Structure formats: C-alpha cells, structure tokens
C-alpha cells in the first residue's frame, strides 16, 4: 500500500473526479442552444439509455475481469441475468428482478461449486 495516493494528492483526484462528473453531465444542458446537433442524431438519443446500459452490463456479465469471454451456461452471472430477464418478461418490479436474478446466480454458483473438479 506504500504506493497508494493519499493526503493532498487524493484531494486533488477527488476534486478532479467530481468536476469531470459534473461537467460531463452538464455539457449540453449548460451550453443550451449554443451546441447544435443534427435532428436525426437528436431523435436517436432516445435510445441512449438502453445502449449505454447494454455497454455497461455486457462486459460485467460476459467477461471474467480480464479479456476472457464466457458465453456458456457455466457462467453464473449469465444465468443470473437470464433469471432477471425472465422476471422482467412479466413484471417491471425491480425488487422481484433483483431477487430472481440473485436467486438464479446463487443457485448456479452453488451447483457449479459442487460439480467442478
């Protein structure tokens, strides 16, 4: 831990992260009409939520930390997402989605722990 950043430098890092978060969130909102976008691009932005979320979720689920792609049923996170997805097919309730996803994930992990060499 001797290399870890602390004290004043850590304060600078946190201030920098706070500023970058605020400025990116504020970019277009604060600039207002001064930044222009093509109308077609502007209308495609309603797909921004689903695209960004997919880009966050996929590596979390299918990559095991590094670059190893695991799209098999031996991947408990994939089983968990499938469980959550099944729930979402008939309800939007987020608690149920988390519960069924965690249940599928945990069952898969327990099963795999008992069946792996």
Partner 1 sequence: MSTERARDRRAAFRAGQRTILLALPGSAAWALISGVAMVKGGLTVPWALAMTLSVYGASAQLAALPLIVAGAPLWVIIATGFITNLRFVIYSAAIRPYFAHESVAKRAGLSFFMTDFAFTFFMRAVQENRLPERHRDAWFAGMAANNWITWQTCACIGVIGASYIPIDWGLEFTGTLALVALAGPALNSRPALAGGVIAAAVALVAHGLPYKLGLFCGALAGIAAAMLADRTPRDTEAVA
We find the least distance from the C-beta atom of residue 91 to partner 1, in angstroms, to be: 10
Binding mask 46-85 for partner 1 (x = CB under 8 A): xxxxxxxxxxxxxxxxxx---x-x------xx--xx--xx
Cβ atoms 68, 39 nearer than 8 A = no
Residue 10 or 74 with smaller CB distance to partner 1? 10
Is 116 one of the binding residues for partner 1 (CB under 8 A)? no
Cβ atoms 64, 55 nearer than 8 A = no
At 76, phi and psi to the nearest 5? Answer: -60, -30
Q: How many other CB atoms are found less than 10 A from the CB of residue 84?
A: 20
Is 1 one of the binding residues for partner 1 (CB under 8 A)? yes
Residue 48 or 115 with smaller CB distance to partner 1? 48
Is 110 one of the binding residues for partner 1 (CB under 8 A)? no
Which of 74, 96, 70 lies closest to 84, judged by CA? 96
Residue 53 or 73 with smaller CB distance to partner 1? 53
At 48, list the tokens.
């921004």
């Amino acid at each position: 831990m001797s290399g870890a950043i602390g004290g004043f430098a850590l304060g600078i890092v946190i201030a920098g992260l706070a500023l970058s978060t605020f400025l990116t969130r504020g970019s277009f909102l604060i600039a207002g009409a001064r930044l222009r976008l093509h109308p077609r691009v502007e209308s495609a932005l309603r797909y921004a939520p689903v695209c960004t979320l997919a880009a966050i979720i996929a590596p979390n689920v299918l990559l095991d930390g590094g670059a190893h792609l695991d799209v098999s049923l031996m991947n408990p996170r994939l089983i968990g997402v499938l469980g959550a997805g099944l729930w979402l097919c008939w309800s939007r309730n987020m608690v149920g989605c988390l519960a069924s996803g965690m249940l599928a994930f945990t069952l898969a992990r327990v099963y795999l722990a008992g069946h792996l060499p």
